[in-house]
Structure 1
Amino acid sequence: MTPLSNPDRRDLDAEALDWFVRCGEQPTAELRAWLDADPAHRQAYERWTREWSQLDALPSAGVDGLRRQLAADKRQADKPRARGRAFWLAALSRWTPAISALMVGGMAYLAWSQWHTPPALYAETFVTARGEQRDVTLPDGSLLRLDTATRVEVKLYEKRRVVSIPDGQAVFQVQGDATRPFDVLAGPLKITVVGTRFSVRHTVGVPGDDGVRVAVDEGKVKVARAEGWGAYFAAAEVLTPGQQLSASADGDMAPVTPVASAGIAPWRDGMVSFNNTPLSQALAEFERYGATGLHVRNAAVGALRLTGTFDPRNLGNFKRNLPKVLPVQLLPQGDVMEIAPLS
């Protein structure tokens, strides 16, 4: 294969950058066709992928200017005829030196941070079993209420406080300390507060509800992408009392919606609430608290919508009333009951 000349290389880099900005990490059929058309296309695209992936480890101060420039360039790209060869070549000429400078600074920063990051003053992991709830008081005075089948990992540093939720849900009453921000990491999101009360749900094993949900009872929190190059360019959302936000497992955030105080973590009172929730998803939520003895085989039955508040530890009332609110019947099937359509 004949090596590309410098002008051809710049044209190809500009074209690859165009594809990367448009598609990012979500390849389309058109992008795949372009990548498969020539090995040089894939190499150019992978170069941009590697370049941007390096931003994940860089200090945020150095990325702020690049973020603002990208936002301005994307606005310009949305204008008619703006996304031409000249536009992307100009963008390429701006971004490549900026990224290179950040790479050099970032490597120095990483080397420094590996040797100078102080150890956590406090580190502990708390786990609740299926059907168990637990109250935890942290050394800084913050209170955590853990729901069933939940795992939280706590690290307190001199200048910051970090709690990770790999799975489950919890309510936080954060002790105010402006010098030590409190970050909650849940899936693709990072929730940052100073002092407030809020709930975070990240239930990876519940079909249809495996993303993240944040609801604020008091104070305010900032919700943003936790990692990935998109974290530097996506806008953060600030939630105030009576607001909630949901995000998919990929980190796509839905619009902020209102939520009543009673609807923020009703599990604290031993209840679960559903609002137009698919029956199959409701059963998966019940199963987080214990075996239900209920099974759905029919997809149409699983898609039926359920609204109401129930005690997950006492399903007798739920079983008795389910056929009254949905067109189903409960049929014995060995040691379980099948929720079946009416015959």
Structure 2
Amino acid sequence: MTTNDPDIPDDLHDAAAHWFTREHGGLMTSDERLVFEAWRKADPRHEQAYQEMMRVWGAAKAAPDMVFENILRRPPQPAAGFPSRRRILVLGAGAACCAAVATVLVGPQRWFDSPTFSERYASPRGERRIVDLPDGSALTLNTASIVQVRLYESERRVLLERGEAFFSIASAMNRPFVVDAGVATVTVTGTQFNVRRDTGQVSVAVESGSVEVAGGTWWKREVRRLGAAQSVLVASSTEVSEVSTANLGRLTAWRQGKVVFDAEPLAVIVAEMNRYRVQPVRLRSAALQGLRVAGVFSTDNPDAFLDVLPSLAPVAVLRLPDGRSEIVPR
């Protein structure tokens, strides 16, 4: 198994902190665990770095919370030469580990408590699913989406493993709602917003209320605060866009079983419509991929898109024996 994952930092101690927070925060999926075990076995230094992280955590747990709270309140001090290896280890084997340990210690009680509610939900391809949570919040899952929900006394957490979800969050000022979408984390207390997780990027749009979206590396997190009708794109583990105005009608049309295109390239439209199809549509003609098409199509009946497309563009649709379809020049 390969460990060539762009989400795993190159630095050994940063990588160890990454896996520590995933495993001990209850966020690790079964697929991630396979990658984690492969990472530990790939190089003896990996296992050593992880064991150092575990020793730091073991020592840190013995210290009262007020010690770490006081450390975080102190103003930064200028560096005086190079710190010893002992001091580096105590602080968490580098800046990233320090950040991870501090987050664990002064963070919510969930690091020590079991969730009061835990469930995993999935929506089939081409279907939507509405989920009501015990705290009064509701999730609407778009096609082929998976979420893990864990509710704690101090906070509520959702891992968006893949796909897209619209969140309608019941307000609870002292119990934040956190959505982990890989390269981005969204934190709210009560609002309505949309999160879409694609390969390598996450988009967030707010319908009402406000959210905080965090992206970037652990030691230099970038935070964007979004209000109603605003959106942001986290394109990778280091790239966070500026806040922009969101076209909520287009972004959340899927909740009504629609998808809206405003002169989009046909290649983009086909890729989007394939999200809702069991058998994908093929578009191999380079001449057609950049052809721009506008329209509103049904996600509940994705075949209707193929039926109407020849009237909108100079194309024909071939129905293939295996159930797939191909768009070709007419």
- Cross-structure match for 2:12: 50
Q: CA deviation at 1:97?
A: 8.7
Cα displacement (A) at 1:92: 6.5
Aligned to 1:3: none
Residues 125 and 278 in structure 2, CA contact (< 8 A), matched pair in contact too: no
Cα gap change, 1:247 to 1:299, in 2 (>3 Å): farther
What is the one-letter code of the residue matched to 2:327?
Answer: I
Q: Which residue of 1 aligns with 2:132?
A: 137
Tell me if 1:318 matches 2:299. Answer: no
The corresponding residue for 1:166 is 161
1:231 aligns with 2:228: no
- Which residue of the partner structure matches residue 86 of structure 1? none
Q: Distance in 2 between matches of 1:236 and 1:95?
A: 32
Whether the 8 Å CA contact 2:224–2:242 is kept in 1: the answer is no
- 2:274 corresponds to which residue? 287
AA partner of residue 212 (structure 1): V
- In the alignment, does 2:268 pair up with 1:268? no
- Contact kept, 8 Å, 1:196 with 1:220, in 2: the verdict is yes
1:338 aligns with 2:326: yes
Q: Cα–Cα, structure 1 residues 162 and 251, in superposed 2: closer, same or farther, change >3 Å?
A: farther
Cα distance in structure 1, aligned partners of 2:171 and 2:110: 30
- Pair 1:102 & 2:97 matched: no
Residues 64, 125 of structure 1: alpha-carbon distance in 2 compared, 3 angstrom cutoff: farther
Per-residue CA deviation, residues 231-272 of structure 1 (Å, 9 max, x unaligned), is 331320001000011222545222222123323411110111
Q: 1:249 to 1:288 in 2, by over 3 A?
A: same
Q: Which structure 1 residue ranges, 5 or more long, are not aligned? A: 1-24, 27-45, 74-89, 205-209
Pairwise CA RMSD of aligned residues?
A: 3.9
1:11 is matched with: none
Change (3 A) 1:65 1:235: farther
Cα shift readout 1:250-298 (whole Å, capped 9, x = no counterpart): 4522222212332341111011123454423322322222246632122
For residue 246 of structure 2, what is the aligned residue in structure 1? 259
**How far apart are 1:321 and its partner, in Å?**
3.5
Instruction: Give the deviation of 1:201 after TM superposition.
Output: 0.8
For the 8 Å contact 1:129–1:149, the answer to whether it is kept is yes
Q: Distance in 2 between matches of 1:291 and 1:108?
A: 44
Name which one, 1 or 2, has greater alpha-carbon Rg. Answer: 1
Partner Cα separation in structure 1 for residue 318 and residue 230 of structure 2 = 41
Q: Which range moves more in the overlay, 212-221 or 314-323?
A: 314-323
Q: Which runs of 5+ in 2 are unaligned?
A: 1-5, 22-56, 61-67
How far, CA to CA, are the matches of 2:260 and 2:174 in structure 1? 37
Q: Are 1:217 and 2:207 an aligned pair? A: yes
Code of the aligned partner of 2:92: M
Hey, which of these two has a bigger chunk of helix by percent? 1
C-alpha distance 98-266 of structure 1, shift in aligned 2 (>3 A): farther
Mean Cα displacement is larger for which, 55-64 or 192-201?
55-64
Q: Indicate if the aligned counterparts of 1:217 and 1:264 stay in contact, CA closer than 8 A.
A: no
Paired position in structure 2 for 1:147:
142
Give 3-state SS (helix, strand or coil) of 1:289's partner: coil
Alignment of 1:52-201 (within 5 A): 52-53=14-15, 93=82, 99-103=88-92, 117-201=112-196
For the Cα contact (< 8 Å) 1:54–1:103, is it kept in 2? no
Per the alignment, do residues 254 and 124 of structure 1 end up closer, same or farther by CA in structure 2, a change over 3 Å counting? same
TM-score, normalised to structure 1, is 0.65
In 2, distance between residues paired with 1:95 and 1:257?
45
Separation in structure 2 between the aligned mates of residue 96 and residue 103 of structure 1, nearest angstrom = 11
Structure 1 residues 279, 291: closer, same or farther in 2, change over 3 A?
farther
